Amino acid sequence: MTHVFHRHTKNKLPVAARGDGVYVVDQDGNRYLDASGGAAVSSLGHSDPDVRDAIAAQLDQLAYAHTGFFTTDVMEELAATLCDRAPGNFGNVYFVSGGSEGIETALKIARQYFLEVGQPERRHFIARRQSYHGNTLGALSVGGNQWRREPFDPILMPATHIAPCYPYRDRQDDESEAAYGERVADELDAAIQSLGPDSVAAFVAETVVGATAGAVAPVPGYFKRIREICDAHDVMFIADEVVTGFGRTGRMFGLDHWNVAPDFLCIGKGMSGGYAPLAATIVHEKVFEAIAGGSGVAPIGFSYGGNPVSCAAGLAALDYIEAHDLVTRAARMGEHFGAALEELRDHPLVGDVRGIGLLRGVEIVSDKPTKTPFFRALRAAETISAHAMAAGGWILPGYGAAPEGQGDWLGLAPPFVISEKEIGQLVAAVRTALDRFAEESRAAA
């Protein structure tokens, strides 16, 4: 009997008891190789002593101080460190507890910015179909995953959605990568023109789509064109780097791959390596200056934002990443991981293998030539994920919705400290799971 309201009330979950490097160990002693970092969170593994010591030291000094009344040295230091490493002219950080709150904060500050500069008509937000930006109502409104949106659609705020940059599904056979990227990016310009350029506040996008498409990276030139369009219409660009920040893609931030700077940078997950709830919205200097020089008030606070213990975990995680050059390691191990996963491409259920750094996806289809997805009722990704877990590999299942025509996928985002041997074990577990599901599908037919 459980009194916890679990995400899936009909599933019986193993009880996680302790962490050991890249493994989570349950109370029965079973070891699960964390192939998804939980949800691209545990970048440092589950038992790093340096981060634990930093948390303990902060607890000995101060556990909590409300940011409406106090600042703290640890929060100030973390904010300065983040601004120094962010890709653009960023001067200030608004701390929150999770990625959804970070997106909410960016939406609200973008709206407030235009109020401060005398453009109150700017109220529209544009995002992409088959995207995920969080589960709070504002974040869910700009998110483009139909399955997640549908139950709450009557209470979501209006938002406009354009095509994602999803070459496996949408690029035409005779279309170059550059032409495809420009075509889908130009949908943003068309949407802005349709809504009225003076009415659009911001465009929101994940730099690499994570939770709703399985590590779909943009084609070269896509985000450069997005930045040009935003600049042409004075529209803010909100970059969702909650998954891709802090080395996950082999660069400190995903946009570093394309030398593009946003107006808002939403971060979380690997920001603390999973050792404490921590996320943030980093704000461009011009946005902060408009508010600071105007009303001076940002009425969007959260009780645990800037928590000293969480900030200490964030500082320690970032120190560890830089001291051990884990961003470079994520790039190097990502190349090995990608090559190992490519060996799955010959499997009859695998339609695509993709990703960047240590953020990878395997799309599952029922028919490879036509890229036909499985029916949702078959729960393909969830079943394959369960088989992989039984084989010792904990991976993240995902699935699209019929309007997008997307198949199921497996998400893979292991800790940066994973070894080549462990990558081999992981890929073997995925192949075993795919084989078992294929056998079950044949038997059912």
The pLDDT-based confidence of 374 (bands split at 50, 70, 90) is confident
What's residue 80's pLDDT?
A: 97
Q: Which helix (H) or strand (E) holds 82?
A: helix 73-85
Could you tell me if 164 and 62 lie in one domain? Answer: yes
219: Cα within 13 Å, side-chain hemisphere? 19
Q: How far apart are CA 379 and CA 108, in angstroms?
A: 36
Query: Model's pTM, two decimal places?
Result: 0.96
Q: Could you read off the pLDDT of 237-267 as tens digits, one per residue?
A: 999 999 999 999 999 999 999 999 999 999 9
Q: How far apart are CA 370 and CA 111, in angstroms?
A: 43
Q: Which of 370, 361, 362, 335 is nearest to 346 (CA)?
A: 362
Could you tell me if 77 and 152 lie in one domain? Answer: yes
Percentage with pLDDT > 90 across the chain: 87
The CATH number given to whatever domain includes residue 407 is: 3.90.1150.10
Beta bridge partners of 32: 24
What is the 8-class DSSP label of residue 216? Answer: B
The pLDDT-based confidence of 403 (bands split at 50, 70, 90) is very low
- 1 located within any domain: no
pLDDT value at 231 more than 50: yes
Domain boundary among 291, 308, 323: 323
Tell me the H-state helices in 126-200: 137-142, 146-149, 167-170, 177-195
Range(s) of the domain holding residue 28: 16-47+326-444
- 6 located within any domain: no
pLDDT value at 402 more than 50: no
Could you tell me if 298 and 202 lie in one domain? Answer: yes
Residue owning tokens 């990704």: 381
- Count of structural domains within the chain: 2
Q: Which tokens in the block code for residue 378?
A: 């078959």
Q: Which of 299, 304, 250, 251 is nearest to 279 (CA)?
A: 304
Q: How far apart are CA 186 and CA 424, in angstroms?
A: 41
Q: Could you read off the pLDDT of 82-102 as tens digits, one per residue?
A: 999 999 899 999 999 999 999
Asked if 130 and 406 touch (Cβ cutoff 8 Å), the reply is yes
The pLDDT-based confidence of 400 (bands split at 50, 70, 90) is low
What's residue 124's pLDDT?
A: 98
- At 203, phi and psi to the nearest 5? -110, 135
The CATH number given to whatever domain includes residue 151 is: 3.40.640.10
The pLDDT-based confidence of 10 (bands split at 50, 70, 90) is confident
Distance of CA 154 to the CA centre of its chain: 26
Tell me the residue length of the chain: 445
Could you tell me if 241 and 267 lie in one domain? Answer: yes
Q: How far apart are CA 376 and CA 380, in angstroms?
A: 8
The pLDDT-based confidence of 210 (bands split at 50, 70, 90) is confident
Could you tell me if 319 and 330 lie in one domain? Answer: no
Residue owning tokens 């695509």: 352
Q: Which tokens in the block code for residue 290?
A: 């408009």
Q: How far apart are CA 236 and CA 229, in angstroms?
A: 10
User: Beta strands 124-128 and 160-162: pairing type?
Assistant: parallel
- 11 located within any domain: no
Could you tell me if 290 and 344 lie in one domain? Answer: no
Q: Which tokens in the block code for residue 196?
A: 């009225």
Angle at 321 between CA 316 and CA 327, to 5 degrees: 160
Could you tell me if 272 and 127 lie in one domain? Answer: yes
Could you tell me if 270 and 370 lie in one domain? Answer: no
